[in-house]
Amino acid sequence: MKMKKLFSMAATGILSISLLAACGANSESENAGNAESGGSAEAVSLRLAHNQPEDHPVHTSLMELSKLTEENSDGNAKIEVFPNGQLGQERDVIELVKSGTLDMAKVSASALEAFDSNYAIFSLPYVFQSKEHYHHVMDNSEAVQEIFQGTKDDGYVAIGWYDAGQRSIYTVDKKVETPADMKGLKIRVQESPTSIAMIEAMGGSPTPMSYGEVYTSLQQGVIDGAENNEGALANGHGEVAKAYTYTEHQYVPDVVIVSTAAWDKLSEDQQKAIQDAANASTESHKDVWTTAIDGYIKELEGMGVNFYTIDKKAFIDAATPLHEKYTAENETNKKYFDDFQSHLK
């Protein structure tokens, strides 16, 4: 299965946003006081936007969230899902949720860092040292819940998360077992200081560029490799990059956010129906994601891509100065980092 390329539908987005504003105005008077009373409430339909195509595993789980919400509430609460960036890309929809124009969105935790610095911890390399560590933190950490709920006064809160896989190094043809193997390799990174510092710490030469430029740059030798999950490789990069090394340097979750304005209008029963649905879909998504990745790997092996599992210790050690710098910035960073590491078994 190949992932479809993301695309923007600007005209549809403008129209949809206008409709959202109108619906929001109508629903405000109808549902005012529902959350406070906890009694029966008017049926509500919330709109949730994300930028992935409809064949993406995260979209599958968002549809499960929608289905479970309706079932849990006996039809009293519904979630309508808008995929493919129809209502805007991640920064756009975060701003719409914050303003109350849009009810909900699924975005990467890395995108939320620009709005709340506490989300930076999710992009810190090797803050999660394995999938098991990652899942245990996301499911059980008090720090995660504090971060998720800490933006209420900024117009939104997070009510759930989805596994978006791990990010590893892939190159045209070279396996990278240690930071020494990264020396001289030009590795595409996202255009962020954290990503640049990460690749430098791992021994490579970071080359910031947009995702859309990666295929041609690999093909023409402008870069030697990139870092992402197996899905990115299945989205065309596997045609030119044949070596995927499981450095597993980042596990950045996708996060479901909801407008504070929209959430506060809901009755307690509606809130519970949505929260229970979010929790259940987060759990079932773990299997959805694993199945999708297995499919990507099988497809990529058929294209001649080689997958390498390594001892990550040298890379984890190389990231230690970044951890020290992060925790030294303030007490909150240290508290969150220590909380995350307390779940490492």
pLDDT classification of 258: cutoffs 50, 70, 90: very high
Is the model's pLDDT at 128 over the cut of 50?
yes
Q: Give the SS3 label for residue 48.
A: strand
Query: Could you state, in order of their start, the residue ranges of all structural domains in the chain?
Result: 10-116+151-164+253-295, 167-251+296-341
Q: What is the dihedral of CA 186, 189, 194, 198, to 10 degrees?
A: -40
pLDDT classification of 19: cutoffs 50, 70, 90: very low
Which CATH topology does 10-116+151-164+253-295 take? D-Maltodextrin-Binding Protein; domain 2 (3.40.190)
Query: Are the beta carbons of 266 and 31 closer than 8 angstroms?
Result: yes
Classify the phi-psi angles of 23: left when phi > 0, otherwise alpha if psi is within -120 to 50, otherwise beta: alpha
Span 182-193, average pLDDT: 91
d(CA 157, CA 38): 20
Is the model's pLDDT at 28 over the cut of 60?
no
One of 3.40.190.170, 1.10.4080.10, 3.30.360.10, 1.20.1050.10 is the CATH number of 167-251+296-341, namely 3.40.190.170
d(CA 176, CA 245): 6
d(CA 216, CA 211): 10
As a whole number, the mean pLDDT across the chain is: 89
Q: Report the predicted TM-score, pTM, of the whole model to 2 decimal places.
A: 0.86
- The string of pLDDT tens digits covering residues 197-244 is 999 999 999 999 988 899 999 999 999 999 999 998 998 999 999 999
Interhelix angle 57-72/268-302, nearest 10 degrees: 160
Q: Give the SS3 label for residue 217.
A: helix
Span 51-58, average pLDDT: 94
Kindly state the percentage of the chain with pLDDT values over 70.
88
Which one, of 254, 262, 253, 264, lies nearest residue 97 by Cα?
262
Do the domains 10-116+151-164+253-295 and 167-251+296-341 sit in the same CATH topology, yes or no? yes
Token look-up 């701003």 returns: 95
Per-residue model confidence (pLDDT) at position 307: 98
Six token digits for residue 112: 């939320």
Is the model's pLDDT at 23 over the cut of 60?
no
- The string of pLDDT tens digits covering residues 286-345 is 999 999 999 999 999 999 999 999 999 999 999 999 999 999 999 999 999 999 999 998
- The string of pLDDT tens digits covering residues 66-100 is 999 999 999 999 999 999 999 999 999 999 999 99
Is the model's pLDDT at 130 over the cut of 70?
yes
Higher pLDDT, 3 or 292: 292
Is the model's pLDDT at 12 over the cut of 50?
no
Is the model's pLDDT at 21 over the cut of 90?
no
Per-residue model confidence (pLDDT) at position 40: 58
* Pairing verdict, β 243-250 and 77-82: unpaired
Enumerate the H helices of the chain as residue ranges.
10-31, 34-37, 57-72, 90-99, 109-112, 131-140, 142-149, 179-182, 193-201, 214-220, 230-234, 260-265, 268-302, 313-318, 320-329, 331-341
Is the model's pLDDT at 138 over the cut of 50?
yes
Classify the phi-psi angles of 118: left when phi > 0, otherwise alpha if psi is within -120 to 50, otherwise beta: alpha
Per-residue model confidence (pLDDT) at position 106: 98
Per-residue model confidence (pLDDT) at position 210: 86
Per-residue model confidence (pLDDT) at position 261: 97
Is the model's pLDDT at 190 over the cut of 90?
no
